[in-house]
Amino acid sequence: MVFFPQVPKPMSESVDAIVQKICDQATRAGASFADARSVESLANTILVQDGRANKAFSTASFGISVRVLVDHCWGFASADTVSEQHAAECLDEALSLARASAKFVEEQVEITTPEPYVDSVRMPAA
């Protein structure tokens, strides 16, 4: 029997709130820049070979990453579960990695300060 899980529902308020909250916490922790990204993905594959449908499978994942710029060094961490707790742990790890790296790297990272955008996009359009 072929079974495909349903496409994840549109972002809940909680995911939106989590990524925003982590950015606020990163600023308070001294990051000159930070971003938080959650990605939900689902893929379905069907393979027919020599007259037989011999593979039909789905893969799904839902996780979050946090990237911080501290003392001109990047720190990055990710988790395969999206929750406030996992996001906070990612932030702590990213901050630690950036601070630890800052003591050793020779080339300091600078970024072009991006314009802020607020948008919701669906491709293809519904």
Among positions 8, 83, 84, 85, the unique one binding another protein when judged by CB under 8 A = 8
Shortest CB 51 distance to another protein, Å:
7
Amino acid found at 82:
V
Which residues make Cβ contacts (< 8 Å) with residue 65, sequence separation at least 6? Answer: 36, 37, 39, 76, 77, 78, 79, 90
CB of residue 12 vs another protein: minimum separation in angstroms? 10
Torsion of the alpha carbons at 89, 43, 10 and 31, rounded to the nearest 10? 30
Candidate residues 67, 70, 91, 98; the one interacting with another protein per rule CB under 8 A = 67
Q: Does 47 bind another protein (CB under 8 A)?
A: yes
Min dist CB 103 to another protein, Å, is 20
* Residue selected from 38, 70, 73, 95 as contacting another protein according to rule CB under 8 A: 38
Least Cα distance to 41 among 68, 64, 22, 12 occurs for 64
